[in-house]
Structure 1
C-alpha cells in the first residue's frame, strides 16, 4: 500500500459575500478532489486541541499523528532543525521575521504593514540577517538565515517566559499592545526597536524601495520553543516516508519524525510555487520505494493571511489540477494506494489569521471505493457525513492502519 497526504495549509474558510456566499473550497473548481470525495470517506477532524494556539506547528503535528499536548514544544525549534541548526538542550529558539512596519511614528506606535516584506528574496534576507547578527550576536545569542522572511534566533540558556505575538496575526494593526511581554521582554524589544534603525536605510532596502517593493525594515521575534523529541514515524507505523514542503516548520517536523525532507526547485510557499514539481517529487519518492509522502502546500494559508480572495480560490484549483491530478495519474500503476486531502487549520480570509475549528478531510482508497453520498469536498459536505474525529492525531492511525475505510 502507498500513502500520500495532500495538506492544503489554511484551506478551510468561512462563506463570503465576495464568493457568492460560498467558501473558497466550495467556489473552487476541483474535479479531481471532488471525485475522490464521492468515492471516499469524508468527515471533520479537530487538529488543534483546546488550549493550544491554532498554529501550523501544532496542527501539522496532529495531522502527522503526534499529539500536540505531548509533543508540541514551540514552532521555532522545528524550523531550526530544518535549517540544520544543531540545538542543545539548553537552547531556546525564536522565529525572527523580517517585516515591514510603517514609517514616521515611534516604534511602538507603528503599524504592521507586511509580515513577509513583500516575500523578500532569500538572498536579500540573508544580507539583512547577517547585519542583524553583526549587531546583536553574542556568545549566547545567534541569528540564522532561513528562507525568504522566515529566520531564527537561538538563545543559549534562554528563557521561555515570554508572551510574543505572531506578526501575521496583527496585519494593519498598531503594534503597541503586541510588543513583547515577560521578564526578559526588554531585551527582545530593544533588539526589535534598534533593528529598525539598522535596516531602514540598508542598501538592500533602498534598492527594494526603488523597485517599488516594501522594505524589510524591522525584525519581529516570536514563536519561542525548545528542542523537540518526536518518536520515529517509521517506528509508529512501520513504513518509510518523506515530506515535501517549502516551509521550514513542516520540514522540521518531518526531519524530527525521521522522514526524509525533499527540496523542490521553485517551491516558494505562495500561489506561485512549483505545484507540479511537488507532485512529481512525491511520485519520485513513491517510485523509489517510499511508502508514504506528506505533500504540504502553503499557498492557501498565505492567501488567507493576505486577504487575497481570488488567489485563495486559485491556489485550491491549482492544487487540484497540478498536485492531485498529477498524483492520481502517477499512482495508476500501483495495485493499491490511499490518498488523504485536508487542511491543517482554517485561515479565514475575513480574519486573516488561523482559527481552531475542525477542518474537512477526505480519504480515498483505490481498492475500497465507497459511495460517500457527497457531491464533493468542502466544509459543509464533510460536516453532513456526521463523522467527527475529535482527537486529530488519531486520524493518521486510521489512514494507515484501518483495513477498511468503512470502519472509520
Structure 2
C-alpha cells in the first residue's frame, strides 16, 4: 500500500462575491481533484485548535499526525532543523524575515509594505544576510540564511516570554502597534532598526529598486521557539516517509520526523515553482520504495497573503494539472493499492490576507474501495460541509487516512 498526501498550503478560502459566491477551490478547473473527490470521501477537518496560532507549522504538524499540543515548540526551531542548525536547550530561535518597510524617518511609523520583499531570490537574500552577520555582532545572537525571505536568528539564553507579530498578518498596516513586547523586546527592536540602517542603501536593494522590485530593507523578527522534539514518523506509523517542499518549515518537520527530505531544483514556494519537478520527485520516491509521500505546495498560501485571487485560482489549477494528475496516474499504473489525501493545512482567505482557524475540506481516495461508493461531489468547501463528516482534532485525520 502506498500513501500520498497533496497539501495545498492555504488553499481553502471564503466565498467571494466576484466568483458568484464560490471559493477559489470551487471556481478552479481541477478535474483530477474533483474525480478523486467524486470517487472518494470528503469532509471537513479542524487542523488548528482555536487556542493555537493558525500557522502552517501547527497545521502541517496536525495533518502529519503530530498533536500540536504535545509537539509544537514554535515555528523557527523547525526551520532550524532544515537549515542544519544544531540547537542547545538554552537556545531560543526566531524567524528573521527580510521585509519591505516604507521610508518614514521614524522606524516605528513605517508600514509593512511587503512581508516577502517581492519574493526576493535566495541568492540576493544570502548576500544581505551575510552583510547583517558582518555588521550586527551581539553576544549569544547568531543569524543563519534560509530560503528567499525566510531566515533565522538564534539567541542563546533568550526568552520566549515575548510578543511578536508575523509580518504576513500586518500587510499594508503601520507597524507601530505590532513592535516587539516583553522580555528582550528592546534588543529585538534594536536589531530590526539596525538592519534597516544597514540594508536600505545596500547595492542589492539599489539594484532591485532600479528593476522596479521591492527592496529587502529590514529584518522582521518573529516566530520564537525552542528546540523541537518530534518522534520519528516511522516509529509512529510504521511507514518510510518522504517530504517534498520548497520551504524550510516543512523540510524541518520532515527532518525532525526522520523522513527523507528531497530537494527539487527550481522549487520556490511560489506560483513559479517547479511543479513538474515536485511530481517527478514524488514518483521517483515511490519507485524507490517509499511508503508515504507528503507533497507540500506553498503557492496558494502566498497568493492568499498577497490578495491575488487570479493567482490563487491558477495555483490550484497548476497543482491539479502538474502534480495531482501525474502522480495519481503513476499510482494507478503500478497496479498496487494506494490511498490519496488532498487537503489544505489552513485557509488563507483573499479578503483577509492571513491565516484563520476555520476547518478545511479534505478528500480521501482509496484505490481498493472508492470506485464503488464515492461522494459524487466536486472538491470544495461547500461540498465538504454538506457531507456532515467533521474530524477534530486535526491530528486524527491521518488515522482515518492510514486506517484499513
1:238 maps to 238
Q: Partner of 2:57 in structure 1?
A: 57
Q: For residue 209 of structure 1, what is the aligned residue in structure 2?
A: 209
Aligned position for 1:323 = 323
Residue 397 (structure 2) pairs with residue 399 (structure 1): no
Per-residue CA deviation, residues 312-350 of structure 1 (Å, 9 max, x unaligned), is: 000000111100101111112132100100000000000
Q: Distance in 1 between matches of 2:292 and 2:29?
A: 27
Q: CA deviation at 1:139?
A: 4.2
Cα-to-partner distance string for 1:203-250 (whole Å, 9 max, x where unaligned): 111111111111101000000000110111101111101100001001
- Identify unmatched segments of 5+ residues in structure 1: 404-408
Instruction: Give 1:365's aligned residue.
Output: 366
Q: 1: distance between equivalents of 2:138 and 2:20?
A: 55
The alignment status of 1:379 with 2:381, answered yes or no, reads yes
Q: Distance in 1 between the 2:244 and 2:398 partners?
A: 17
Cα deviation for residue 161 of structure 1 reads 1.0
Deviations 1:286-337 (A, max 9, x none): 1001100000000000000000000100000011110010111111213210
Where does 1:202-281 land on structure 2 (aligned, <5 Å)?
202-281=202-281
The RMSD of aligned alpha carbons is 0.9
3-state SS, counterpart of residue 377 of structure 2: coil
Q: Which residue of 1 aligns with 2:98?
A: 98
Are the aligned partners of 2:244 and 2:263 in contact in 1 as well (CA < 8 Å)? yes
**Deviations for 1:37-74, whole angstroms, at most 9, x for unmatched residues?**
01101111000012101000000000000000111100
Q: Which residue of 2 aligns with 1:85?
A: 85
Q: Distance in 2 between matches of 1:200 and 1:217?
A: 5
How far apart in 2 are the matches of 1:126 and 1:189? 22
Q: TM-score if structure 1 supplies the norm length?
A: 0.97
SS of alignment partner, residue 44 of structure 1: strand
Q: Distance in 2 between matches of 1:81 and 1:236?
A: 20
Aligned residue for 2:316, secondary structure, equals helix
Q: Hey, what's the Cα distance between the residues in 1 that align with 2:195 and 2:152?
A: 15
Provide the secondary structure at the position in 2 that maps to 1:190.
Answer: helix
Aligned residues: 402
Counterpart contact for 1:195–1:217, Cα < 8 Å? yes
Where 2:144 maps in the other structure, the secondary structure is: strand
> Per-residue displacement from partner, 1:123-178 (whole Å, max 9, x unpaired)?
11111111111222334110000000000001111111110000000000000000
Aligned match of 1:130: 130
Question: Contact 2:232–2:257 at 8 Å: present in 1 too?
Answer: yes
Q: Helix, strand or coil: the match of 2:182?
A: coil
Q: Paired residue for 2:346?
A: 345
Cα contact 1:137–1:143 (8 A) shared by 2: no
TM-superposed deviation, 1:375: 2.2
| 1:186 CA displacement | 0.2
**C-alpha distance in 2, partners of 1:373/1:152?**
44
Measured in 1, the distance between the counterparts of 2:366 and 2:242 equals 20
Output the CA distance in 2 between the equivalents of 1:329 and 1:275: 16
Residue 151 of structure 1 is matched in structure 2 by 151
1:69 corresponding residue in structure 2: 69
Counterpart in 1 of 2:197? 197
Confirm or deny that 1:12 pairs with 2:12: yes
Q: Distance in 2 between matches of 1:199 and 1:25?
A: 39
Please say if 1:356 is aligned against 2:344: no
Query: Counterparts of 2:88 and 2:149 in 1: how far apart (Å)?
Result: 25
3-state SS in 2 of match to 1:300: helix
The equivalent residue for 2:28 is 28
Q: Aligned-pair distance for 1:374?
A: 3.4
Stretches (4+) displaced over 6 A: none
Contact kept in structure 2, 1:374 and 1:381, CA below 8 Å: no
Is the contact made by 2:40 and 2:375 (CA closer than 8 Å) also made in structure 1? no
* C-alpha distance in structure 1 between counterparts of 2:228 and 2:19, whole Å: 41
